[in-house]
């Protein structure tokens, strides 16, 4: 999946599922359930066990239907590892121009993290495709709306504490997509062997970000 295809795939669902932690080797089953719920993008955080192997496996199994990328990417060397594993987008909690530059050089999509308008602009000037606004839970939809007033061309991805109801509010405030972690992928979903709960949760987030569906 090239840059244009990855970007289009993420934009299709506007929800990036954040896979963080140890899920007992059931990641493929989980991704399959989320794709059934409409998911089109998942990031595996690099501070998860065997993250690169998980990215490689998911990219091979689901890469044609779902963009697979990496989160919590802090170093340029990690970008290279993700690219070699088959990941197609890079998400960071911070804005590091070196990471952004290497990401674009390797043909991947770049979503660095930022908190202030100054950081958001710095990320875009460094080559970011969109900016992860983190931690969004301390800011809220009103902040996204306010930032979008002078920076209307910037694609913002609020991440942190996002529920389906908050996702809808962020969309109305002008967010391009949302990043969703424990609100979607809490460890409680492992109790549902068929992952029907996870499929339904995913569908709720997708509906919130795509009300025309």
Active site residue 132: yes
- Looking up residue 58, the CATH number of its domain turns out to be 3.20.20.70
pLDDT at 8: 96
Q: pLDDT category, 192, cuts 50, 70, 90? A: confident
What are the C-alpha distances in Å from 76 to residues 66, 84, 98, 163? 24, 13, 6, 32
Tally of domains in the chain: 1
Tally of CA atoms within 13 A in the half-sphere of 100 that contains its CB: 21
**pLDDT tens per residue across span 36-68:** 999 999 999 999 999 999 999 999 999 999 999
Asked whether residue 186 carries a pLDDT value surpassing 90, the answer given is no
Interatomic CA distance for residues 166 and 26, integer angstroms: 28
d(CA 42, CA 48): 14
Does residue 213 surpass a pLDDT of 80?
no
DSSP state of 67: E
pLDDT tops 80 at residue 81: yes
Encoding tokens for residue 15?
């929800």
Q: What is the pTM of this model?
A: 0.97
Categorize the per-residue pLDDT at 26 as very low, low, confident or very high, splitting at 50, 70 and 90: very high
Q: Pick the catalytic residue from 9, 57, 104, 132.
A: 132
Give me the torsion for CA of 24, 135, 158, 191, rounded to 10°.
20
Q: Residues 6 or more apart from 81 whose CB is under 8 A from it?
A: 52
Average pLDDT of the residues in 149-173: 96
Query: Has residue 109 got a pLDDT over 80?
Result: yes
* 17 — pLDDT class (breaks 50, 70, 90): very high
The span from the CA of 194 to the CA of 37, in Å, is 13
Average pLDDT estimate for 158-182: 96
Q: Could you report the per-residue pLDDT of 171-180, keeping only the tens digit for each?
A: 999 999 999 9
The pLDDT of residue 212 is 83
Q: Which of 43, 57, 78, 104 is catalytic?
A: 43
Range of the domain at 17: 3-209
Whether the predicted pLDDT of 35 surpasses 90: yes
pLDDT of residue 190: 86
């Amino acid at each position: 999946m090239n840059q244009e295809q990855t970007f289009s795939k993420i934009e299709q669902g506007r929800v990036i599922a954040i896979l963080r932690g140890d899920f007992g080797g059931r990641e493929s089953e989980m991704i399959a359930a989320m794709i059934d719920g409409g998911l089109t993008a998942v990031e595996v955080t690099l501070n998860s066990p065997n993250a690169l192997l998980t990215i490689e496996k998911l990219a091979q199994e689901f890469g044609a239907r779902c963009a697979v990328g990496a989160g919590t990417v802090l170093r340029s060397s990690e970008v290279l590892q993700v690219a070699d594993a088959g990941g197609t987008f890079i998400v960071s909690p911070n804005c590091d121009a070196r990471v952004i530059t290497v990401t674009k050089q390797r043909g991947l999509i770049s979503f660095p993290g930022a908190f202030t308008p100054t950081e958001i602009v710095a990320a875009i000037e460094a080559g970011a495709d969109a900016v992860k606004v983190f931690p969004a839970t301390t800011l809220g939809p009103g902040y996204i709306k306010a930032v979008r007033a002078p920076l209307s061309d910037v694609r913002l991805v609020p991440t942190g504490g996002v529920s389906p109801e908050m996702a809808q509010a962020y969309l109305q405030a002008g967010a391009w997509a949302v990043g969703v972690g424990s609100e979607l992928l809490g460890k409680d979903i492992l109790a549902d062997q068929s992952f029907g709960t996870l499929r339904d949760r995913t569908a709720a987030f997708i509906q919130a970000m795509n009300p025309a569906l």
